[in-house]
Amino acid sequence: MFAIFTNLRKALRPLAGLAAALTLAACDPSGLPGLGGDGGDGPRINTAKPIPVALLVPQSDSGAAPIATALENAARLAMADLGDGVIIDLRVYDTGGQAPAAAAVAQKAVDDGAKIILGPLRADAVNAAGLAVTDEGINVLGFSNNPTIAGGNVFILGATFDNTALRMVEHARRNGKSKMVILYSDDVAGQLGKLAIEKAATAAGVQVVGAQPYQLSIEGVTNAAKAAGRVVNSGAADSIFITTDATNAAMQMLLTQLPEAGVTADKVQYLGLTRWDVRPDLFALPGAEGAWFALPDTQRLAAFSARYKTAYGTDPHPLAGLAYDGISAIGTLAVAGRADALSTTALTSTGFTGTGGVFRLLNDGTNRRALAVATVKDKQMVILDPAPSNLSGGGF
């Protein structure tokens, strides 16, 4: 999912019902700046007619076809939940999971009349699709969470490390933690996670006293745990921030070997950059008790999952909600009846409520999502600080 892209994108930018259970609302778009005039940064639409939206998914990619189905299902679920005020003309295009194909079908979608593109899935495909239609003034809402491809006409809907890191570091600071050591995997994802934490620490006034990489091997994890232990046992740190994905084999080793190296809850606060709740078996490990990690609004996630399962007879893929969120954002803006509802100005002028809570798209193409902070108590997840329900709440 993580691929590093250069500033080529920047150089090529254009100049110019869940119903009650899951209310897909936003700040009133009609009262926001930039809406209602000539935005000049996107296509004009007639909101009284069906709005052509292209959905780019990897239907013929055997490894990602189930995700493609889930994304399309969620998009259609969102369309049904928009009500009578907006009609979406959803047109589905197969990328095959390949960047060149994504570029080709993105251009075809625009030639067919699409006013905005939802997808593709992977970072390289999103980047290719965005570049293909940049001169057309068409915005792309990609399902990636890789910030290196965001900007210009490309927005990413996936939860970013920057967003999670800031939420966690600010929570740590408010709870008296000011000296942090970072433990990260020595790969692209780990590097991006480390950079996000360092950026958040600078913004929050928290000191990073050390950053320890590890190789994905027994020896690599063991050595990193011992190195982190030396920092903690010296008294230099009061918290340790782990970038590792909960589904990664290294996480189980880390949560076992770190306490053995003296990195214990009575000395430091454990923080996670990813959702540990996807692996509840981890909660029984020594390093997990009392740890903090972030996750979306659990009530809204449960409501979406129930709605999806009722409609399709199966649980949604974890990424399915991104397609729902994209359609809900488009619908929320279009319901105001503005011709420039899909412009960059409009997309970034308000916030939305989706499957995991409040979110908004930022001018740099990334996003901010409201997150809850959870902990592990007696091997069970407990919410410490709920996700805010509006854009001005704490934790957003």
Instruction: Write the DSSP assignment of 125-194 as a string of letters.
Output: HHHHHHHHTGGGT--EEES---GGG-BTTEEE-SPPHHHHHHHHHHHHHHTT--EEEEEEESSHHHHHHH
Which domain range does residue 255 map to?
161-295+372-385
Residue 380, beta-bridge partner list: 377
Query: Residue 223's Cα: distance from chain center in Å?
Result: 31
Mean pLDDT by 10 residues, the chain (396 residues): 42 35 37 36 89 98 96 98 90 98 99 98 98 96 96 97 97 98 95 97 97 95 96 96 95 97 96 96 97 96 97 97 97 91 94 95 96 97 93 56
Residues 148 and 47 occupy one common structural domain: yes
Residues 309 and 289 occupy one common structural domain: no
Of the CA atoms within 13 Å of residue 126, those in its CB half-sphere come to 32
Residues 226 and 336 occupy one common structural domain: no
| d(C-alpha 245, C-alpha 185), whole Å | 9
Residues 291 and 319 occupy one common structural domain: no
Please give the helix or strand (H or E) that residue 370 lies within, else none.
none
Residues 350 and 254 occupy one common structural domain: no
Residues 262 and 117 occupy one common structural domain: no
| d(C-alpha 44, C-alpha 38), whole Å | 9
* Mode of pairing for the β-strands spanning 239-242 and 179-185: parallel
Give ∠ CA 311-305-165 in degrees, rounded to 5: 145
User: Letter for the amino acid at 225?
Assistant: A
Residues 262 and 306 occupy one common structural domain: no
Give domain status of residue 394, yes or no. no
Contact yes or no for 210/181 (Cβ under 8 A)? yes
Contact yes or no for 25/358 (Cβ under 8 A)? no
Give domain status of residue 392, yes or no. no
How high is the pLDDT of residue 234? 95
Residues 14 and 65 occupy one common structural domain: yes
Give domain status of residue 3, yes or no. no
How high is the pLDDT of residue 336? 86
| C-alpha closest to that of 267 among 184, 177, 205, 185 | 177
| d(C-alpha 178, C-alpha 359), whole Å | 27
Residues 85 and 175 occupy one common structural domain: no
How high is the pLDDT of residue 217? 93
Specify the CATH number for the domain of residue 17.
Answer: 3.40.50.2300
How high is the pLDDT of residue 27? 41
Rounded to two decimals, the pTM is: 0.86
How high is the pLDDT of residue 392? 65
Residues 101 and 25 occupy one common structural domain: yes
Give domain status of residue 393, yes or no. no
Q: What is the DSSP letter of 386?
A: P
Instruction: Write the DSSP assignment of 47-100 as a string of letters.
Output: TTSPEEEEEEE-TT-TTTHHHHHHHHHHHHHHHHHT-SS--EEEEEEE-TT-HH
How high is the pLDDT of residue 34? 35
Give domain status of residue 114, yes or no. yes
| d(C-alpha 195, C-alpha 297), whole Å | 25
Give domain status of residue 285, yes or no. yes
Give domain status of residue 2, yes or no. no
How high is the pLDDT of residue 266? 95
How high is the pLDDT of residue 391? 67
How high is the pLDDT of residue 42? 78
| C-alpha closest to that of 142 among 393, 277, 325 | 325
| d(C-alpha 356, C-alpha 249), whole Å | 27
Residues 99 and 133 occupy one common structural domain: yes
Residues 166 and 277 occupy one common structural domain: yes
51 Cβ contact list (under 8 Å, min separation 6): 45, 86, 87, 88, 89, 115, 116, 330, 334, 342
Helices then strands, counting H and E runs in the chain, come out as 11, 15
- Structural domain count of the chain: 2
How many other CB atoms sit within 10 Å of the CB of residue 393?
13
Give domain status of residue 104, yes or no. yes
Contact yes or no for 241/197 (Cβ under 8 A)? yes
